[in-house]
Structure 1
């Protein structure tokens, strides 16, 4: 065989070898992609099942929501969003939050602005004195009764009446189960705002603690041993929630099947799985700058025609206006005058 023929044979074998190697690499990549797709598909299916269990849309027809885009459109456009977090204690392990219609111990706005990479967490006192829009016959009453009487919709209506802020979505959680969820997340880090003992655990003011499970519940639940009473409890709830939000708003967490399945009956929301994924993907960095706030009222007592005398917190128009303005500014929308009511 002459040299040109040998050269052609050599190049022919070389090209064939390259084709074999190329096919081999493509085959491995294909198998890897298939494996990843199956894993993500399995996780997505489990997440979807968990999200379907949690998904409970409610009416959010309020004055502040009148010209507001739907939640999915807001998330698609990566615009600022305001979510309402409601926390309750079902009082029985394993009881579904959907079947529980008691009082809400936690009411919190989580306002997120992705362009400013900012999150504002605002707590509203559960003992706030209110007149419920749809239940005048039992008013005045405490704000936490809105859920027990009229569900999430009545709570949203009442909050809009007094704070005039749009509410794009809501999340209702069982606090006891939330502590278990925090455990599955690997716990959270908080700095104790005071020194106290509760449920067999000790905390010192200014010291950081890694908490989960019963320890997290002990950190949150103390009330009467706190000189600030309910406001102190609100602060600790806010600290735990802020730490949990920072840890959970990630695509990795949303695709964690164990995490999503642990939510199950302990959470109710009008956020779909796609909404959760959009939040995790499109709103990264928003927890780098978290501001905390709360509505400060004055302690008083009122006579309720059904329940008799009750201790309440009266929020002044000025304080409600301040809260409204701060949330609206974070959302990038103009301020409006809040409802004025004789106290």
Structure 2
């Protein structure tokens, strides 16, 4: 059975969901550019990294023309992007922003979604979180595009070390866990409010095997941490100093330029008024010796329709690289399994 998890929220909800550092930069550019222009621009310039692929459309032109845009946001499990092991994308969210209808959509994509990764067919079937490991941001973009048949204009990726720094920089966050569990040396008790520093908040947001909802539960806790950070709006200005911005820019990459971010801050504020959240809901199965989330065609089409509509695009059939619910198999291919293990899958 397909389970939909969709809600509409008003006002500042978008700040509670989009990856923290991108929002910090957006708020920074929009509210503090005149006073801290150099520091912010310097940090943004240091985060820039081309996706290395030809985009389906001229993304910067879309922004300058105030047309709907999409951003693929990813969080990796590494401590520093400069490491030779790039890590997995434990978090993937597709954001669409429409300044004409004043609406934003946020779609979470499970890390274990089974796909055939474009350009890496011999290493497939794979989990979608291996796309970044195999071919960096460009491959991750192409995989999501072909899976959903939705153009992706920009990307942003941030590692776990960066998230830890953000939490510490705002003085920690106070959370009330919705379930009890132990992880990475920390104990969390359901219903018991607790103040968390960066390391503890990271542990809270990363556990998934003891969560009855698996990766879907982890996605919810990741959003809770981001909500707590953004709820400390008074702390945002304290983040806008050169040392912090330089340190965080070393742990994230994006192909959004300073000009792009400035235009978003100025022209896309209305898209915060209505936010629709959902996740791609799969069914657990085993394919080629790997546990994966298999997607029904109707579920893929639902998510395709949601995102294409908010981008102002005509209806189109969803993509065909995701593994369907009929793909479950007990057979295995050792070379494919080894490739995915080496990718950190």
- Please report the RMSD computed on the Cα atoms of aligned residues, expressed in angstroms: 3.1
8 A Cα contact 2:165 2:248, kept in partner: no
Change (3 A) 1:98 1:81: farther
Structure 1 segments unaligned to the other structure (5+ residues): 1-38, 304-308
> Which structure 2 residue ranges, 5 or more long, are not aligned?
1-31, 328-345
Distance 1:139 1:216, change over 3 A: same
Q: Which of the numbers 95, 104, 114 marks the counterpart of 1:110?
A: 95
Shift of 1:172: 0.7
> 1:57 Cα shift?
0.8
Alignment partner of 1:44 is 2:37: yes
Deviations 1:124-180 (A, max 9, x none): 111111111101111111111111111111111111111011111000100232131
CA displacement at 1:243 relative to structure 2: 5.9
In 2, are the aligned partners of 1:88 and 1:174 still within 8 Å (CA)? Answer: yes
Compared CA separation, residues 286 and 260, structure 1 to 2 (3 A): farther
- With over 3 angstroms needed to count, the CA separation of the structure-2 counterparts of 1:140 and 1:226, relative to structure 1, is same
In the other structure, the counterpart of 1:228 is 213
Tell me which of the two structures has the higher relative contact order, counting C-alpha pairs closer than 8 angstroms and 6 or more residues apart. 2
SS in structure 1 of the partner of residue 74 of structure 2: strand
> Contact between 1:121 and 1:238, CA under 8 Å: does it hold in 2?
no
Q: Map 1:1-16; keep pairs closer than 5 Å.
A: none
Q: Is residue 322 of structure 1 aligned with residue 302 of structure 2?
A: yes
Distance of 1:246 and 1:111 partners within structure 2: 22
Q: Is the 8 A contact 1:126 1:144 kept in 2?
A: yes
C-alpha change, 1:204 and 1:318, in structure 2 (3 Å) is same
Q: Distance in 2 between matches of 1:195 and 1:201?
A: 8
The question of 1:176 aligning with 2:161 is answered: yes
User: Is the alpha carbon distance of 1:284 and 1:159 closer, same or farther for their aligned partners in structure 2, counting shifts above 3 Å?
Assistant: same
- Work out the CA distance in 1 between the residues paired with 2:43 and 2:245: 6
1:186 Cα deviation after fit: 5.3
Aligned pairs for 1:20-59 within 5 A:
43-59=36-52
Structure 1 position 158 matched with structure 2 position 143: yes
Distance in 1 of aligned mates of 2:87 and 2:197: 25
